[in-house]
Each structure stands twice: as structure tokens, then as C-alpha cells.
Amino acid sequence: MSRISDAFRNAKQKGRAAFIPYVTAGDPSLERTVEIAFALERAGADVLELGVPFSDPMADGPTNQRAAERALAAGTNLKRVLEVVSEIRVRSQLAIVLFTYANPVVRFGIERFAEQAAASGVDGVLFTDVPAEEMKWFRPALKSVRLDPIMLVTPTSDRGRMKAAAKKGGGFLYLVSRTGVTGAKQDLDRELATNVEIAQKASRLPVAVGFGISTPDQVSEVAAIADGVVVGSAIVNQIADEGDTPGLAARIESFATPLAHACKRVL
């Protein structure tokens, strides 16, 4: 069992959905990213998604695009992100997923990336721009070092594509809550419950929902139907608002704690 599988199993046993916060590695700095990771774990994170900054993040909305720009300007690259994971792993067994585009990994070298990611303590890798048909270029290297390939599906994916994604994936199946790019939204998609049910029936893996979830009420609504809840842009916005200050990690912990608590299912 991987740390990711353990995280979902433990959350389920406690009557809650897994809480999966997302932050961009290197925003506002690599040192703060390590502090924020520990803060999110204290807040109740089950799995941490670390975004690898990329210059052309086509799946990301303005919030995460600006975070990537700040991280790149601070000198963040894939090698340094892996070093951050190693630092986190010294003190934590929190499950960690890298959220990345294919380009940085291909440039780094797929086999080299897989080996160094596993050695640093990464548990899974999610490629935002690699469909199931193209995972043949990445999956063997990931699986050879026991990294879970996390697959994305969307509201427009039919059951066949969801099954294919689940078959080629590991850890959990990431269901995008709505069409479009990342970013906090006022309301959840009215078809979300139906889409989650379809994904769960198509998948042998837990189903986590992300994109547009930003408040405890929204988290609670998603936690009632899904196995995991991803909150990204809302946390990234908080980091941007606070800036690179000594108290940043504590304030992120305070912001994230109610989100984690909202993952508890109401019986």
C-alpha cells in the first residue's frame, strides 16, 4: 500500500473525505513551501499536492498562473522542487503528489525524473496535459519505482475514458469538478454529484474532486459525495495576499483548518 492509499483508507475509517490542499512549490519561496507543507499537515491535510511551476500552465487559471510566475522568478525548477520534497520527508510521512505538466519532466528525463522523485519521497505524479492514451510514455518509469500515476478526468469524459484512466492510474482518480481552468468559484457544478457517481462506478480507485472548491461549505458538499476534496486556488490566493512573511505558515494553517474539518461527513 502506498502513502496515498493509506491516506484515503485512514480518512474513510474516520468518516471523512481526504483533504488534499494544493500549493505551488517555490511560491513565495522554496523555504516557505517547506514551512507551508508542515502547516497544512497540522491543519489536517491527508495528501499534499505540490505544483511544479511551468511557463505555459494552460490548465491553470490566473491565480495559479501568477503563483507559477512568482515561483519561476524565485529560481524554482523541477530539481529544486524534488529537493523540497526531500526536506519535507525528513520530518513527515504526509503523502505527496507532484502536479506537473509533461514538458518539465520530458526535459528533465522521464526515467531520471521517476528515480529522483521516488528517492526524494514523492508518492504520486499528476500530469495535467497527458491523456490516458499518452501515459504509455510515462507510466512504465513511474510504476518501476512505485510512483502512483494520478489520472485526470473531466465532466465531459464518458465512462469508457474514465475506466481507461482508472486502469492506467494509481492512488486516486482526480475528477475535475467543471470544465475550464483552475480557480475558486462561487457555486459548484449542478451535475457534480452525477459525475462523481459515474466516476466511482467506473473506477477501482478513490475519486477526489478538485477545481473551484474554496470554502468550508463547498468542501462539506463535495465531501458528502466524493472520497477526496482538493482545494488549491483559495490557498494559493491566501499565500499571495500574505506574501513572504515570517507568519505566513501559521496563517495558512489557520485558513486551511476549517477546510480540513469540513471533510468530516455529517451522518
Are the beta carbons of 57 and 233 closer than 8 angstroms?
no
Cβ neighbours of residue 222 closer than 8 Å, sequence gap 6 or more: 17, 177, 188, 192, 209, 213, 229
221 a catalytic residue = no
Of 60, 123, 227, 253, which one is the catalytic site residue? 60
Q: Which residues pair with 209 in a beta bridge?
A: 175, 229
Q: What is the DSSP letter of 246?
A: T
Show the cell assigned to 135: 501515459
Residue 39 to residues 21, 92, 167, 212, 224: CA-CA distances in angstroms? 11, 11, 34, 22, 25
Cell 494559493 belongs to 236
Q: How far apart are CA 243 and CA 226, in angstroms?
A: 33
Catalytic residue among 27, 41, 49, 253: 49
CA angle at residue 99 from 96 to 100, to 5 degrees?
135
Q: Which helix (H) or strand (E) holds 231?
A: strand 228-231
- For the question of residue 60 being annotated catalytic, the response is yes
Task: Point out the residues that are catalytic.
Answer: 49, 60
